[in-house]
Amino acid sequence: MASVAEQTEVRSAAGSPTLRVVSRRFGTLDVPVASVLHFAQGLVGFPRYRRYVVLDHRPGSPFKWMLSIDDPDLAFAVANPCELVADYDPPLPLATRLLGTAAEDLALFVLVTIPPDPTRMTVNLMAPVVVDLRTRQARQIVLDDPRCPPDHRVVREPAAAQP
């Protein structure tokens, strides 16, 4: 696949091919080639960045980083919406149709927007990322559904603060 920037492909001690990614924020990472997510269309607004890797944040955290391999200074906080949003209803029929995959081979996560005040963090339910786990093909799908806003608040405001 053509890409914006080619990283050195090296072999880890275990022998599986890895991509060396040098990032100011995350240091030097040897990413297993098999774990790379391929977005044929990029993310909405980021069409040129097509390869990402998902990195754990810290033990027990529902959050992860999704780091661009094509620009290692580009990273998004992501999370499993089923952990953060009560009664979340994943758009499985659409996702399976668009990716051409079965529901059991599908992973879904959402981008998290975190302003300086984390109580105001939001998740983008309008445009979840879906992944075919067999092929690692990924796509940010856009939903035109009033129940899926782009800025769903994760932490409920305290009752006293509500108008």
Partner 1 sequence: MLVLTRKVGESIRIGNDVTVQVLAIRGGQVRIGLTAPSDVRIFREEIFRAVEGQNQEARLADEDRLSGAAELWEEVGNGKRG
Binding partner 1 (rule: CB under 8 A), the pick from 10, 114, 134, 147 is: 114
- Cβ of residue 117: shortest distance to partner 1, in angstroms? 9
Q: Are 16 and 32 in contact (CB under 8 A)?
A: yes
Q: Which amino acid is at 76?
A: F
Q: What angle do CA 133, 126, 78 make, to 5 degrees?
A: 50
Q: Are 39 and 54 in contact (CB under 8 A)?
A: no
Question: Is position 141 an interface residue for partner 1 (rule: CB under 8 A)?
Answer: yes
Q: Which amino acid is at 75?
A: A
Q: Which of residues 18 and 122 has its CB atom nearest to partner 1 in the complex?
A: 122
Q: What are phi and psi of 8, to 5 degrees?
A: -70, 130
Question: Is position 13 an interface residue for partner 1 (rule: CB under 8 A)?
Answer: no
Q: Which of residues 31 and 66 has its CB atom nearest to partner 1 in the complex?
A: 66
Q: How far apart are CA 92 and CA 89, in angstroms?
A: 8
Binding partner 1 (rule: CB under 8 A), the pick from 80, 96, 113, 137 is: 113
Question: Is position 25 an interface residue for partner 1 (rule: CB under 8 A)?
Answer: yes
Q: What angle do CA 102, 56, 29 make, to 5 degrees?
A: 105
Binding partner 1 (rule: CB under 8 A), the pick from 21, 37, 108, 121 is: 121
Q: Site residues (CB under 8 A) for partner 1?
A: 25, 43-46, 57-58, 60-63, 65, 74-77, 84-86, 97-98, 111-116, 118-119, 121, 124, 126-127, 140-142, 144, 150-156
